[in-house]
Amino acid sequence: MNLSKFYFVLLFAFISSSIYAQKQDEKAVAIINKELEAIGGKEFIKSINTLYTNSVTQMEGRTANWVVKEMKPNVGSFEIVYG
């Protein structure tokens, strides 16, 4: 299979899978809305301005902390701290 045929098949698979991704399951939407209300509602989610994530992993036998800080509207930083 040459490269152009491969890209065509890949593009076709992507488009066909995204068509089905647009359908909404009413049960799933109800579950998500119920969860949103349980954590404070859509207005609470919209009021969040900062997201801070600290993950720990092992890299080459050493502990590494991945620190990600994101703020509205479009500011962020990424830091790897080796321990």
Cα angle: 57, vertex 63, 65; to 5 degrees: 60
**So what's the pLDDT on residue 83?**
75
- Using DSSP, state whether 83 is helix, strand or coil: coil
pLDDT tens, residue by residue, 14-56: 666 555 555 677 888 888 889 888 888 888 888 888 988 999 9
- CB count in 10 Å sphere of residue 67: 13
Q: Which residue has the higher pLDDT, 68 or 8?
A: 68
**Domain ranges across the chain:** 1-48, 49-83
Distance CA 70, CA 52 (A): 7
- Widest pairwise Cα distance in the chain: 53
In terms of DSSP H, where are the helices of 1-83? 3-21, 26-38, 41-47
